[in-house]
Chain A
Amino acid sequence: MTDQNVNAAAAEIEMYGALKDKEPPKEPRSQWRDVWDQFRKHKGALIGGGFLLFITLAVLIGPLIWQVDAKQLDIRNKDMRPLYTLLWDGDARTSWAKPLGSDNLGRDILATLIAGGRASMAVGWTAMILALFIGTAVGVSAGYFRRLDGPLMRLTDLFLSLPILPLLLVAVTLFRQPLRASFGPETGMFILIVGVIGITSWMQTARIVRGEVLALKEREFILAARSIGTTPFKIIRRHLLPNVVSPIMVSATLGLATAIITESALSFLGVGFPSDFPTWGKLLSDAVPRMEEFPERVMLPGILISLTVLSVNYLGDGLRDALDPRIRGR
């Protein structure tokens, strides 16, 4: 009896031969594996990501390897040139103890660059995360709750029409003293700069996230979730946020690039961190008056800023391609 049944079923399957798999089933692939495979194809993004990782690691563990205090004055050995100047100028004052030379107070340039990179990257990452957080919160609430949509989007439009750089200058100049007084010069400036950059750069993320959420919340899985009584907060956390991760990641890279540039620009205009607390922008602007004699002091931080931003931009480019399922696999 059972044999007959099996045979009948087999015959039935035989009949619909087209339905059968021609090849053995493949291993199921996770989404992130697909993303990684697509990402790997973008050479620029790969190099950019690698360089960003390298810079981040270098500024994190650099001080452990190159154990020179960035604030250590060594007035006897001031104005040293970097070692590579020996290639064309044999008489240049160089020293193996200071491979990238020293500044006008004898501080080691390699150590200050590492310390400056630490500050720049810290400001960049924190400001980017703050902007992402605000942008995602505003975007999700505007997209999900219809009542909030109008007011929140008007607010976003208003923020978009604020003159950002002048306002940043105003805010940083005017609020420098009280924050310094209450948190100390370095922490105060850090809070201030991260805060103003974060508060003035969340608008693009909010707009993108809102658009995605508006489209997503009409889909069946959200309806299903709502029909079994899931609370809005849980729907947002479990169903909406994982689906808007890719646009958020892309705008995160853009945000990181702008945050680093903005911080350096503020430092360059002289409203950033105090002089004894180096960041790349500060190092660059401090070196401008004597750039004819010591061009490397301008070039090194400038090249570091530009390379970091360039690698972040390429990373964003690759991420955008890799995270978009319509482009992926082509």
Chain B
Amino acid sequence: MLTYTIRRLFLSIPTLLFISVVIFLLLQLAPGDPMAQVPLTVPPDVKQKMRDALGLGAPIHVQYWKWLVQFFWIEPQVLIDHWFGTGLAEGKLRVISWQTRSPVMDIVVQRMPQTLWVVGMSYVVGILIALPIGVYSAYKQYSLFDQAGTFVSMIGFSIPPFFSGVLVIVIFSVNLGWFPSIYDTTHVVTDWASFKIQLQQMVMPVMVLALQTTAQISRFMRASMLDNLNQDYVRTARAKGLKESVVVLVHVLRNSMIPIVTVIALGIPSIFGGAIITETLFKVNGIGQLLLTALFANDLPMVMTLTFIFAILIVLFNLIADVLYGILDPRIRYD
């Protein structure tokens, strides 16, 4: 298992390099000019100097190499400096955003908690709702509950987040006035009253994102439970007189969770991508919204870095899912 993990880790390096090349070339081929916003009165030779200052004059492979060094060598050093107070990265050039002229990673670190808080919470809520639904609808297959669950998850699949989000805003924020439609990230929780406000503003984004998660995972949970409920070991467990709750919730559930855990791991990066829409809708200033504003402002280093972070998440969680599958299921042997 360990050798497998190490081999996969090494294999993910060329994958990530390929992805970074794809993103980089895509951005290079793009005709957008970061100098487009500069006033026309600025003479062309000054503009050229500004371009050179941004590192745009260099050949493509040099620019790519510089980005690689900055991202994989200097940024980890900055992180180490931050943790241990060393001075490894002093005076070295980091990935600089063209919009704010400050290091990209600093902005990402500022924006990350909001995304993690909203997206992570919604994922957890979605899973917590999905698992019991899946278990119960598999146990009572073709019952009314099962039919209703199937229908609701079909709806969850079909209603895109930009519509369900608008829908809950119209219903709960405009008509009923229960929740604020804008997520206030500057809100600080100090006592019960402010905690209640925090909860109120989180309900809608979390529910919108959780609907998608719930629909997907409850389907998988149901299918996996159905596979296991007809196995011989379930009959044996019932025959030796175990209680029904023990049979279902211990024997069957534990075996059914094996594929679900990998599904959950695989879904984490995609929920970050989906959060772009939800963040725009509820005006959460997370990394999805950061990517969008950077795109519109032609801030190529920021776009490049953010897209690459998304790619790292995908590759990483694919790896985690495969390894977890091997650890949880002793029948799977990779070596």
Q: Which residues of A contact B (CB under 8 A)?
A: 44, 157-158, 161-167, 169-171, 173-175, 177-178, 257, 261, 264-265, 268-269, 271, 281, 284-285, 288, 291-292, 295, 298-299, 302, 305-307, 309-310, 313-314
Are B274 and A165 within 8 A (Cβ)? yes
How far does the Cβ of A300 sit from chain B's closest Cβ, in whole Å? 11
Complex interface bits, B161-172 against A, C-beta within 8 A gives 1, otherwise 0:
011001101100
Q: Cβ of A173: which chain B residues have Cβ within 8 Å of it?
A: 32, 295-296
How far does the Cβ of A195 sit from chain B's closest Cβ, in whole Å? 13
How far does the Cβ of B63 sit from chain A's closest Cβ, in whole Å? 16
Q: Which of A158, A164, A285 contacts B273 (CB 8 A)?
A: A164
Q: Cβ of A175: which chain B residues have Cβ within 8 Å of it?
A: 30-31
Docked CA distance A310–B291 (Å): 30
Are A302 and B306 within 8 A (Cβ)? no
Range class of the B interface residue count: 35 or more
Check: B269 CB closer than 8 A to any chain A CB: yes
Q: Cβ of A157: which chain B residues have Cβ within 8 Å of it?
A: 15
Are B31 and A178 within 8 A (Cβ)? yes
Check: B129 CB closer than 8 A to any chain A CB: no
Are A284 and B162 within 8 A (Cβ)? yes
Q: Cβ of B109: which chain A residues have Cβ within 8 Å of it?
A: none
Please give 4 more A-B residue pairs, beta carbons under 8 A apart, in addition to A265-B162, A298-B170, A302-B167: A161-B315, A163-B273, A268-B277, A291-B166
Q: Cβ of B174: which chain A residues have Cβ within 8 Å of it?
A: 291-292, 295
Q: Cβ of B31: which chain A residues have Cβ within 8 Å of it?
A: 174-175, 177-178
Q: Which of B160, B166, B273 contacts A288 (CB 8 A)?
A: B166
Q: Cβ of B18: which chain A residues have Cβ within 8 Å of it?
A: 158
* A169-B292, A264-B162 given; A269·B27 CB < 8 A: no
Are B273 and A313 within 8 A (Cβ)? no
Q: Which residues of B contact A (CB under 8 A)?
A: 15, 18-19, 22-23, 26-27, 29-32, 154-155, 157-160, 162-163, 166-167, 169-170, 174, 269, 273-274, 276-277, 280, 291-292, 295-296, 303, 306-307, 310-311, 313-315, 318
How far does the Cβ of B311 sit from chain A's closest Cβ, in whole Å? 5
Are B314 and A163 within 8 A (Cβ)? yes
Are B155 and A310 within 8 A (Cβ)? yes
Pairs of residues from A and B, 7 with the lowest C-beta to C-beta distance, nearest first: A174-B30, A163-B310, A310-B158, A302-B163, A165-B273, A309-B158, A268-B162
* A173-B295, A269-B276 given; A306·B159 CB < 8 A: yes
Are B23 and A167 within 8 A (Cβ)? yes
Docked CA distance A284–B166 (Å): 9
Q: Binding site of A, secondary structure by majority: helix, strand, loop or mixed?
A: helix
Are B169 and A166 within 8 A (Cβ)? no
Q: Cβ of A158: which chain B residues have Cβ within 8 Å of it?
A: 15, 18-19
Question: Closest chain A residue to B161 by CB distance?
Answer: A265
Are A169 and B166 within 8 A (Cβ)? no
Question: Closest chain A residue to B30 by CB distance?
Answer: A174
* A178-B31, A284-B163, A288-B166 given; A169·B295 CB < 8 A: yes
Are A163 and B311 within 8 A (Cβ)? yes
Q: Which of A166, A170, A281 contacts B162 (CB 8 A)?
A: A281
Docked CA distance A248–B174 (Å): 44
Q: Cβ of A305: which chain B residues have Cβ within 8 Å of it?
A: 160, 163
Docked CA distance A268–B155 (Å): 20
Are B15 and A302 within 8 A (Cβ)? no
Q: Binding site of B, secondary structure by majority: helix, strand, loop or mixed?
A: helix
**Listed A/B pairs (13) with beta-carbon separation below 8 Å:** A163-B269, A163-B313, A169-B276, A173-B32, A173-B295, A174-B27, A265-B277, A269-B276, A285-B162, A288-B166, A299-B170, A306-B160, A314-B154
Are B158 and A166 within 8 A (Cβ)? no
* A163-B273, A174-B30 given; A313·B307 CB < 8 A: no
How far does the Cβ of B267 sit from chain A's closest Cβ, in whole Å? 14
Q: Cβ of B273: which chain A residues have Cβ within 8 Å of it?
A: 163-166
Are B280 and A269 within 8 A (Cβ)? yes
Docked CA distance A257–B159 (Å): 11
How far does the Cβ of B14 sit from chain A's closest Cβ, in whole Å? 9
Q: Which of B19, B30, B295 contacts A162 (CB 8 A)?
A: B19
Are A313 and B154 within 8 A (Cβ)? yes
How far does the Cβ of B227 sit from chain A's closest Cβ, in whole Å? 15
Q: Which of B19, B27, B291 contacts A169 (CB 8 A)?
A: B291
How far does the Cβ of A198 sit from chain B's closest Cβ, in whole Å? 16
Are A313 and B157 within 8 A (Cβ)? yes
Residue picked from B30, B158, B296, most chain A C-beta under 10 Å: B158
* A163-B307, A257-B158 given; A170·B295 CB < 8 A: yes
Q: Cβ of B277: which chain A residues have Cβ within 8 Å of it?
A: 265, 268-269
Question: Closest chain B residue to A291 by CB distance?
Answer: B170
Are A167 and B314 within 8 A (Cβ)? no
Question: Closest chain B residue to A312 by CB distance?
Answer: B158
How far does the Cβ of A299 sit from chain B's closest Cβ, in whole Å? 8
Q: Cβ of A269: which chain B residues have Cβ within 8 Å of it?
A: 276-277, 280, 292
Question: Closest chain A residue to B276 by CB distance?
Answer: A165
Docked CA distance A171–B30 (Å): 8
How far does the Cβ of A136 sit from chain B's closest Cβ, in whole Å? 23
Question: Closest chain B residue to A175 by CB distance?
Answer: B30
Q: Which of A162, A163, A306 contacts B163 (CB 8 A)?
A: A306
Q: Cβ of B280: which chain A residues have Cβ within 8 Å of it?
A: 269
How far does the Cβ of B156 sit from chain A's closest Cβ, in whole Å? 10
Question: Closest chain B residue to A257 by CB distance?
Answer: B158
Are B276 and A166 within 8 A (Cβ)? yes
Are B32 and A167 within 8 A (Cβ)? no
Q: Cβ of A306: which chain B residues have Cβ within 8 Å of it?
A: 155, 158-160, 163
Q: Cβ of B291: which chain A residues have Cβ within 8 Å of it?
A: 166, 169
How far does the Cβ of A268 sit from chain B's closest Cβ, in whole Å? 4
Are A161 and B318 within 8 A (Cβ)? yes
Docked CA distance A261–B157 (Å): 10
Q: Cβ of B29: which chain A residues have Cβ within 8 Å of it?
A: 174
Question: Closest chain B residue to A171 by CB distance?
Answer: B26
Docked CA distance A297–B268 (Å): 33
Are B22 and A162 within 8 A (Cβ)? yes
Q: Cβ of B166: which chain A residues have Cβ within 8 Å of it?
A: 284, 288, 291, 298, 302
